[in-house]
A and B are shown apart, each in its own frame.
Chain A
């Protein structure tokens, strides 16, 4: 897939940030290493970035850096899982996960159960799937089981959750990114979701609330 790229020079011009800032953000890992794409040019090498992603990231860093320190930002943007613990009622009262989804995922638990960040993340994924409307509640349980049992293999790596359906039968799977997959024509991709994006957004949500 040919991504739309932006050169470092153009990025600095467009966003009005300086080399010093950019290199500092790189050091703090607020901008992921694999976004720095090297291409050869007449000066040896030129650095490019995925256009959409970097512009959005820089905008967000600029918006947030007045309130949060760079280390806090690094924490948010890293794919490391945070160590918050929340009870079921806290999660639903603060509208992180709606009550129904908690009950779908953990049917035998009451609202006082304490959930770790991972567990909230799993429910968040399920919620996104259900909100999207492409899958049924039964199928959402498959998604939940998949991520719950397999995500630990992908810790701190980027992966995506894919749900496909063929002739009414749904299958969910986790794939490491970047990847390329192709299915037979009868199979339909219902939804694919990048886990790092979910982690990032969930952390932001939690950051705002606490």
Chain B
């Protein structure tokens, strides 16, 4: 059968029961009572979707809530959105606030607003510059953060690059290259100054850090295990176990060091 998908638009207040469409646009307040399968979904008002969404492109600039799972190629959220199920996508940009109750699977994720994932976050490249909360584990190829985050489980990535702002918390960190530093080379002197004024505390608290090459600033950890480890300014580590080289620089504190 020929694929004859229709467009669907809600521009005042309206509701529909779901279905298969080409383009769905909600610019007033819309309620969709079932599952929806469409090529593009654009919502700029408030939308409430009671089922699952399957789409190629989703753009939300108003507020939206989804009761089911969301599966899409590209997703851009600049308003607030709330997904009760899982989110699966290849490219996601969040600049508003978003909440996902289930797991998130993405190839590329950029968060510059606040987001709260209650499940696991699996991904390729993850960039965080807003406040992010993850309820379980975060596993990805690269994790680049310049904002605040709180990860209740394990942060596992090949490349971990964290520039500290505010108070960051992770239960465990594991990976190959781990670099946690006070942000220094970003922006001019004035923006630095302003940032420092607003962000008093810059620290990361964790139980354990395990990796191959580790550089830590401003980090409080019970144990750090790795090949080559550098402990820098503002770090306080109870125990370091290393097999290669350990460097303690600019007043980093290590209570107990063990070369294996």
Chain A residues at the B interface, C-beta cutoff of 8 Å = 8-9, 13, 18-24, 26-27, 43-45
* Contact, CB under 8 Å: B158 / A20: yes
CB distance from A94 to the nearest CB of B (A): 36
Q: How far is the CA of A13 from the CA of B225 in the complex (A)?
A: 12
CB distance from A149 to the nearest CB of B (A): 31
* Contact, CB under 8 Å: A19 / B239: no
* Contact, CB under 8 Å: B158 / A19: no
Q: How far is the CA of A26 from the CA of B156 in the complex (A)?
A: 9
* Contact, CB under 8 Å: B238 / A23: no
Chain B residues at the A interface, C-beta cutoff of 8 Å = 139-141, 156-158, 172, 174-177, 207-208, 210-212, 222-223, 225-227, 238-239, 241, 260
* Contact, CB under 8 Å: B207 / A19: no
Cβ–Cβ < 8 Å partners of A20 in chain B: 158, 175-177, 211-212
Q: How far is the CA of A20 from the CA of B207 in the complex (A)?
A: 18
CB distance from B208 to the nearest CB of A (A): 6
* Contact, CB under 8 Å: B222 / A44: yes
Main secondary structure of the interface of B (DSSP, over half): strand
* Of A19, A21, A45, most B-chain CB atoms within 10 Å: A19
CB distance from B145 to the nearest CB of A (A): 17
* Contact, CB under 8 Å: A44 / B207: yes
The answer to whether A9 and B241 touch (CB under 8 A), given A24-B158, A43-B223, A44-B208, is yes
CB distance from A154 to the nearest CB of B (A): 22
Cross-chain pairs A/B with CB under 8 angstroms, 18 sampled: A13-B260, A19-B176, A19-B210, A19-B212, A20-B158, A20-B177, A20-B212, A21-B176, A22-B174, A23-B156, A26-B139, A27-B156, A27-B157, A43-B208, A43-B223, A44-B208, A44-B223, A45-B208
Cβ–Cβ < 8 Å partners of B211 in chain A: 19-20, 23
Among A9, A21, A24, A43, contact of B238 (Cβ-Cβ < 8 Å): A43
Which residue of the partner chain B has the closest CB to A45? B207
CB distance from B185 to the nearest CB of A (A): 25
* Contact, CB under 8 Å: A19 / B156: no
CB distance from B175 to the nearest CB of A (A): 5
CB distance from B71 to the nearest CB of A (A): 19
* Contact, CB under 8 Å: B260 / A19: no
Q: How far is the CA of A97 from the CA of B213 in the complex (A)?
A: 48
* Contact, CB under 8 Å: B208 / A19: no
Q: How far is the CA of A27 from the CA of B174 in the complex (A)?
A: 11
CB distance from A133 to the nearest CB of B (A): 45
Which residue of the partner chain A has the closest CB to B156? A23
Cβ–Cβ < 8 Å partners of B176 in chain A: 18-21, 23-24
Q: How far is the CA of A13 from the CA of B208 in the complex (A)?
A: 18
